[in-house]
Structure 1
Amino acid sequence: MASIPAATAAQGWCAHLKLRFTERGGQTYLSERQHHGPLVVQRAFHPEGGPCHTYLVHPPGGVVGGDHLGLEMNVERGAHSLITTPAATKFYRSDGRFAMQSQHLVLSASTLEWLPQETIFYRGARVRSETRVQLDAQSRFIGWEIPCLGLPARQEAFDAGELRLNLELWRDELPLFIDRMRLDGTGPERTARWGLAGFDAVGTLLAYPATTSMREAARSASAHDVESAVTLVDGVLVCRALGAQAEPVRRLFIAMWRMLRPELIGRPAVLPRIWAT
């Protein structure tokens, strides 16, 4: 993971959360939970028996320049964890400093569903964020990230600020998927046809190990006002989606997750209860 400059972290909120999930008797338990600063989890839920549903909570409600959020998660052999958030993550306008986020998710012959709600980057935000998923050949993963630029519903564009967003998927120390998004609010990439073509929500969904039937199922899903494409390379299903707002992209990804979960994980989709609130 990228190192965080100590001086930057010291000037804002520095929050770190470490989680470990362990399987015992066919049920997954949150066996270790350590936190420093304002990044916590609510109690674990088991709405479908074995899998453990857990909600990440950032009590301040938003991240500003100088803040650093760090997450380390280990899903041990045989365990099955589903992670989501109760609301969108928000990165507010910066005073010039970067806000930092690092998320390291490690799977060992286990299953992880990484289903956070969208991340909203306000005009003027300066953010460096990295999510790294590290698994082995016996593990199963499905997850997404949905950055939203500005506040489209309020006609507030992300026309100032700087984003450096990394998303990585590794298997046995070899890279399967590496994505680097670099966006300057004052540059042409947000509106140019070779860039985001004016779309403000940019979603990426990953599933491993995937099959051609899963690829075709994902391609059959659709959502109003969303442009999407699905590929399958080296066992990794990748869906890219662009939307005017985050909500249609999230609806599309939920529809795909409901289609893919039975084949990928062997369970029907059970929506996290927090999504209904």
Structure 2
Amino acid sequence: MPPPRAENPPSLDPTEDSDINAAAQDLTRPALPRQPRAQGELVLSARLRGGQSRIGALRQQGSLKALFPHGSGAALKAVFLNTGGGVTGGDRFSLRAEAEPGASLTLTSQAAERIYRAQPGEVGRVATRLAAGAGATLHWLPQETIVFEGAALERRIDAELDETASFLAVEPLIFGRAAMNERVHDARLEDRWRIRRGGELVFADTLRMDGDIDALLCRPGVADGARAMASLLLVRPHAGDMAAPLRAAIGPQGACSEIRPGVLFARILAEDGFALRRSLIPAIRLLAGGDIPRPWML
């Protein structure tokens, strides 16, 4: 007598079978090799000595360095540079700078910063902490940040200002290079500003873009096709007096407003980096009360 036949097992859901196969493939697929990541830290202060602003403190390590070009004027001028050549997922950079009471400090970058493609799940992070004491002047004037396809960046700027200090900040952004016909269809960017004056939060702004940035910029209510933009912030007593001259300097491609007493904010849009500079450089000259840092002219 033949042995009884086993009943056929219940059929598997085809989608479930597919999931099992995919999971098995994931177990056998080699993980992406972890690439070396850049790290850098820069700590700098400007101190008033004999009527001139000099280096008070300086510490630099990793891929973040500072140069101090000679020049006229009472302000300490510092040029920071990323020797890693750009920022990609997993990179970590920290910059802290202070203009001590009565001192004047101007910071700029050696060149445009480039944000390159990141591996899945990895994000580059840049943290900037600024401070200005009583009667101090602090200018944060980095050149453009260029965001490339596949980039992932989280960046934050925190500033603590005395009520009598003067603070000027600019952050230009370019999404792909127009001359290379580049478009950014998959990237992630978060730019977070928090500015306190006399211990009180006086300015907060978060710009967050994720996914098809080019499509987002094409929306009329966002950038109407512009692929370059800049944010400018002036915090000082009577900053609102500069509103009308600033509107004239940036023209129809931008707008500004005194959002509260002593806090003037502007945003400029442009089709590309060259057009952005034509509006931005006169605006910086106006608000800084002098010429722009020399690296901008290279």
Where does residue 274 of structure 1 map in the other structure? Answer: 295
Where does residue 123 of structure 2 map in the other structure? Answer: 98
Where does residue 92 of structure 2 map in the other structure? Answer: 68
CA shift, 1:135, in A, is 0.5
Give the Cα–Cα distance (whole angstroms) in 2 for the partners of residues 261 and 36 of structure 1: 30
Q: Deviations over 1:99-122 (max 9, x none)?
A: 110000111111111111000111
Where does residue 7 of structure 1 map in the other structure? Answer: none
1:231 to 251, 257, 265: 257
Aligned residue identity for 1:27: Q
Q: Deviations over 1:44-103 (max 9, x none)?
A: 53422x111110111122111110111011210011011111210111011121011000
Aligned residue identity for 1:207: L
Give the Cα–Cα distance (whole angstroms) in 2 for the partners of residues 261 and 88 of structure 1: 20
1:182 matches 2:182: no
Give the Cα–Cα distance (whole angstroms) in 2 for the partners of residues 71 and 261 of structure 1: 22
The 3-state SS of whatever aligns with 1:202 is strand
Give the Cα–Cα distance (whole angstroms) in 1 for the partners of residues 239 and 197 of structure 2: 17
- Contact 2:228/2:270 (8 A) holds in 1: yes
Bigger Rg, which one: 2
Give the Cα–Cα distance (whole angstroms) in 2 for the partners of residues 230 and 32 of structure 1: 35
TM-score scaled by length of structure 1: 0.88
TM-score scaled by length of structure 2: 0.82
CA shift, 1:243, in A, is 0.9
- Contact 2:126/2:155 (8 A) holds in 1: yes
**Which runs of 5 or more structure 2 residues have no equivalent in the other structure?**
1-34
The 3-state SS of whatever aligns with 1:248 is helix
Q: Deviations over 1:117-152 (max 9, x none)?
A: 000111110111101122110100112001111222
Q: Deviations over 1:169-227 (max 9, x none)?
A: 2112222111111111326533222222221112101112244431111011146xx71
Where does residue 112 of structure 1 map in the other structure? Answer: 138
The 3-state SS of whatever aligns with 1:184 is strand
1:163 to 179, 183, 189: 189
Aligned residue identity for 2:61: H
- Contact 1:129/1:166 (8 A) holds in 2: yes
Give the Cα–Cα distance (whole angstroms) in 2 for the partners of residues 247 and 141 of structure 1: 26
1:121-270 alignment, distance < 5 Å: 121-186=147-212, 188-209=215-236, 210-222=238-250, 227-234=253-260, 235-262=262-289, 269-270=290-291
Where does residue 3 of structure 1 map in the other structure? Answer: none
Give the Cα–Cα distance (whole angstroms) in 2 for the partners of residues 27 and 75 of structure 1: 12
- Contact 1:204/1:240 (8 A) holds in 2: yes
When residues 214 and 192 of structure 1 are mapped into structure 2, their CA distance, relative to the original with a 3 A threshold, is same
Where does residue 6 of structure 1 map in the other structure? Answer: none
Give the Cα–Cα distance (whole angstroms) in 2 for the partners of residues 190 and 84 of structure 1: 27
Where does residue 31 of structure 2 map in the other structure? Answer: none
CA shift, 1:11, in A, is 5.8
Give the Cα–Cα distance (whole angstroms) in 2 for the partners of residues 80 and 275 of structure 1: 19
- Contact 1:117/1:250 (8 A) holds in 2: no
Aligned residue identity for 1:237: L
CA shift, 1:248, in A, is 2.4
**Which runs of 5 or more structure 1 residues have no equivalent in the other structure?**
1-9, 263-268
Give the Cα–Cα distance (whole angstroms) in 1 for the partners of residues 253 and 85 of structure 2: 30
1:26 to 51, 65, 69: 51
CA shift, 1:259, in A, is 2.2
Count of paired positions: 260
The 3-state SS of whatever aligns with 2:212 is coil
Aligned residue identity for 2:130: L
RMSD: 1.9
